[in-house]
Amino acid sequence: LGARLHGALSQLSKASVVDDKVIDALLKELCAALLESDVNVKLVSQLRTKVKTKVKKNLEEAEKTGGREANKKNVVQKAVFDELVALVDPGTEPYKPIKGKTNVLMAVGIQGAGKTTTCTKLAVHYQRRGLRTCLVCADTFRAGAFDQLKQNATKAKIPFYGSYTETDPVAIAALGVEKFRKERFDVIIVDTSGRHKQESELFEEMVAISAAVKPVRRPLGGRCSLQDMTIMVLDASIGQAAEAQSRAFKDSADFGAIIVTKLDGHAKGGGAISAVAATKTPIIFLGTGEHLNDLERFAPQPFISKLLGMGDMQGLVEHMQDMARANPERQKEMAKKLEQGKFSIRDWREQLGNIMGMGSLSKIASMIPGMPAGMLDGGEEEASAKLKRMIFITDAMRQDELDSDGLIFVSFDKSGNPTGLNRRAKRVARGSGTSVREVEELLAQARMMAGMARQAGGQNGLMSAMQKMQ
């Protein structure tokens, strides 16, 4: 989806005049891209009408204020962006556990969707944020289910509960939750089975488990209900089937949040978009790999922004913070730099180096602005090659250039307006075997990181800002 949408939008930026023809062509390409990535047909046609109306209205307004073509392009791009965001934003607050209370989470979804893996990822996520977290295995249907959870939990050092002999999942869930509730755990995550001989049996079991572990009711986002803690785990690779499947689950085991898994690899995200629209339920996380760290917080704007190749700085910083949590020494260093609001090219180089060591490169690369979404289709190798080129660029810089904020590479005219990159930039491009354009990209990234650091540094530092986001 990303590559195709990105292509459509860059067609737009190449067009010299933005007229009906250009807009129609863009919409056509946009709809084709959405359909291709399994977004429901009805949704796509609704979206088309909405974008068209919005573009028309916004263009009229732009014209009134004497809008130039460049401005019109922004208007069109913004309309597309806003409507895509609206598609994945059901307008409700996403679920968030409260420290000091017992938060019971229950994962539902079909077998193989990624429930057991996601439960452990979630546990790690909350544990890192200072919540006492544990796991309960209420899957007695699948052979080896408890062993799998046990293995995951042990690896992540998360306390767990389960049984080899008890065959009633409802009894295990009730016992496990009761035990951990008494031990005052903050977050108790219940993993369930995903398959039965009859679908109705599965649904009955889920309802019974959810009734058995029913947590003390408490207000949550203005509402009082258990559904806010039942999470549907949805495999992105099931495509168009996502809509029907999520509806069926919603009708029986009402859930208040969705986690979409397997968004790495070749999965298309369109099914997930349809599921959100069909159930009016927010996605809270995305699963982006088999590793326990491969869990990303979902937010509509960065998700779409990334889809369109516009980057996700917030997500990038958050990911770095997350990695730093696992390494307190690095955390201190990074916190200091970011809190001072100082960010040089040397710092960005260090971050690029860290990113190289962070695992799934294509995933992280997609968060960096200016990394085209299409690049991700090339997978790990291409992402790694691209990151290496950025590091080569910094290797070709001199010490004073590394310690600068990047302005050193810019020429200015007499009245102080930037006129482009100077000879230093050309030297660096030559020396690193890259292009001036790539040097420019790197400088823009470092500038954006500096901007984020400054912004956050003003208010008690980035660290506490991130911690508040939890």
Binding site for ligand GDP (CB under 6 A): 109, 111-117, 194, 261-262, 264-265, 287-290, 294
Give CA–CA dist 99/185, Å, rounded.
9
Nearer Cβ to ligand GDP (172/345): 172
344 touches Mg ion by CB under 5 A: no
Which one of ligand GDP, Mg ion, none is in contact with 271 (Cβ closer than 5 to 8 A by kind)? none
Nearer Cβ to ligand GDP (366/394): 366
Per-residue tokens: 100: 């000091």
CB of 306 to ligand GDP, least distance (A): 16
CB of 261 to ligand GDP, least distance (A): 4
CB of 271 to Mg ion, least distance (A): 20
CB of 213 to ligand GDP, least distance (A): 18
Nearer Cβ to ligand GDP (117/321): 117
Give CA–CA dist 408/214, Å, rounded.
61
Residues written for the chain: 470
Q: Are 443 and 406 in contact (CB under 8 A)?
A: yes
Which one of Mg ion, ligand GDP, none is in contact with 112 (Cβ closer than 5 to 8 A by kind)? ligand GDP
Give CA–CA dist 322/169, Å, rounded.
34
How far the first Cα of the chain sits from its last, in Å, is 30
- The shares of helix, strand and coil residues in the chain, as percent rounded to the nearest 5, are 60, 10, 30
Which one of Mg ion, ligand GDP, none is in contact with 451 (Cβ closer than 5 to 8 A by kind)? none
List Cβ neighbours of 273 (8 Å cut-off, separation of 6 or more): 39, 43, 87, 88
List Cβ neighbours of 109 (8 Å cut-off, separation of 6 or more): 115, 194, 232, 233, 234, 235, 249
Nearer Cβ to ligand GDP (265/433): 265
Nearer Cβ to ligand GDP (109/269): 109
127 SS3 class: helix
CB of 360 to Mg ion, least distance (A): 22
Nearer Cβ to Mg ion (191/318): 191
In this chain, which residue has its C-beta nearest to Mg ion? Answer: 116
Nearer Cβ to ligand GDP (116/434): 116
432 touches Mg ion by CB under 5 A: no
CB of 189 to ligand GDP, least distance (A): 12
If one counts every other C-beta atom within 10 angstroms of the C-beta of residue 390, the result is 26
116 touches Mg ion by CB under 5 A: yes
Per-residue HEC secondary structure of 140-157 comes to CCCCCHHHHHHHHHHHCC
Nearer Cβ to ligand GDP (120/305): 120
CB of 109 to ligand GDP, least distance (A): 6
Residue 137 bridge partners (DSSP):
191
Interface segment toward Mg ion; rule CB under 5 A; list 11-19, 108-116, 299-307, 455-463: 108-116
Per-residue tokens: 469: 């986001």
Q: Which of 373, 381, 369, 391 is nearest to 441 (CA)?
A: 369
Per-residue tokens: 216: 């003390």
Which one of Mg ion, ligand GDP, none is in contact with 288 (Cβ closer than 5 to 8 A by kind)? ligand GDP
CA 396, 399, 402, 407 torsion: positive or negative?
A: negative
List Cβ neighbours of 62 (8 Å cut-off, separation of 6 or more): 71, 72, 75
CB of 151 to ligand GDP, least distance (A): 11
Which one of Mg ion, ligand GDP, none is in contact with 351 (Cβ closer than 5 to 8 A by kind)? none
Give CA–CA dist 379/376, Å, rounded.
5
Give CA–CA dist 464/134, Å, rounded.
25
Which one of Mg ion, ligand GDP, none is in contact with 261 (Cβ closer than 5 to 8 A by kind)? ligand GDP
120 touches Mg ion by CB under 5 A: no
Which one of Mg ion, ligand GDP, none is in contact with 113 (Cβ closer than 5 to 8 A by kind)? ligand GDP
Q: Count CA atoms closer than 13 A to 357's CA, side-chain side.
A: 9
CB of 87 to ligand GDP, least distance (A): 21
Nearer Cβ to ligand GDP (186/294): 294
Q: Are 332 and 26 in contact (CB under 8 A)?
A: no
Nearer Cβ to Mg ion (135/463): 135
If one counts every other C-beta atom within 10 angstroms of the C-beta of residue 160, the result is 23
Strands 103-108 and 230-235: parallel
Nearer Cβ to ligand GDP (261/279): 261
CB of 190 to ligand GDP, least distance (A): 12
CB of 403 to ligand GDP, least distance (A): 40
Footprint on this chain of Mg ion (rule: CB under 5 A): 115-116
